[in-house]
Amino acid sequence: MQLLIVEDDQSVADALIDAVSAAGHHAVHACRGSDALLRHHDVQLILLDLGLPDMDGLEVLRKLRQVSDVPVIILSARDDERSVVRGLRQGADDYLVKPIGLTILLARIDAVARRAGAKSTASRNQIIAGTLSMDLDKHEAVLAGKRLGLTAKEFELLTLLARHAGSVVTREQILDRLWGDAFLAVSRSLDVHLTGLRAKLATPGMIVNVRGVGYRLEAPSS
């Protein structure tokens, strides 16, 4: 399993990396919250300290939960009840207080990873939304029996919207997934790709603009 360790104390980070590596995991390290927000895409679990130099760990968690459901374990010296409750309510999967035995830490990592795996869908490589079907392995999208000739970015965009068909996907989630930074004021690229995608779908109302929030895909019925 690929882990991201967000920890500003290098000696603590080194100890954590050694421990999870000895257990067969691979770990990458970020010492700043802003780096964590840019590096969460390719990991299966995050160990998050709260005392970071550029922003509070709870703020990192809040922003992360706007765009990702990657499992997060808070690992902090803060042991007050308010911090624990805030951390769990803001989306942490577990909250551990330092110092903690490495054996216990590894067991908690395994437990969180098992729960996350159980929640994942049985098939992540095929999406069906009404008459829209997408084969992610073949990179193929078919709408009402007609194959869509999408660019790579359009395919990514449609995949994201189709995975959450019927629900709003925020602009931040889209920017994070497609451009790697939810909080960067990027160009009009998203609007350009949306326009191209809508033209190829040729189904008015299939992608709904929820003003000030994001976009929602309505599963086409015919």
pLDDT digits over 35-56, tens only? 998 888 889 999 999 999 999 9
Q: What's the predicted TM-score (pTM) here?
A: 0.67
Would you say 52 and 30 are in contact if contact means Cβ atoms under 8 Å apart?
Answer: no
Shared-domain flag, residues 162 and 207: yes
Average pLDDT over residues 115-143: 79
Which CA distances in Å does 20 have to 9, 66, 210, 218?
Answer: 17, 27, 42, 42
Tens-digit pLDDT profile for residues 152-186:
999 999 999 998 888 899 888 888 888 887 776 65
Shared-domain flag, residues 94 and 189: no
Shared-domain flag, residues 139 and 199: yes
168-170 and 214-217 strand pairing: antiparallel
- Residue 30 burial (C-beta neighbours within 10 Å; 0-12, 13-18, 19+): buried
Residue 77 and residue 79: Cα distance in Å, rounded?
Answer: 6
Shared-domain flag, residues 63 and 157: no
Shared-domain flag, residues 138 and 176: yes
Would you say 74 and 87 are in contact if contact means Cβ atoms under 8 Å apart?
Answer: yes
Residue 4 and residue 28: Cα distance in Å, rounded?
Answer: 5
- 222 in any annotated domain: no
Shared-domain flag, residues 45 and 133: no
Shared-domain flag, residues 103 and 143: no
Domain count, the chain: 2
- Mean pLDDT of the chain, nearest integer: 88
Contacts (Cβ under 8 Å, ≥6 apart) of 102: 15, 19
CATH number for position 81: 3.40.50.2300
Taking the chain, what is the end-to-end CA distance rounded to the nearest angstrom? 41
- Residue 78 in 3-state DSSP? coil
Shared-domain flag, residues 102 and 35: yes
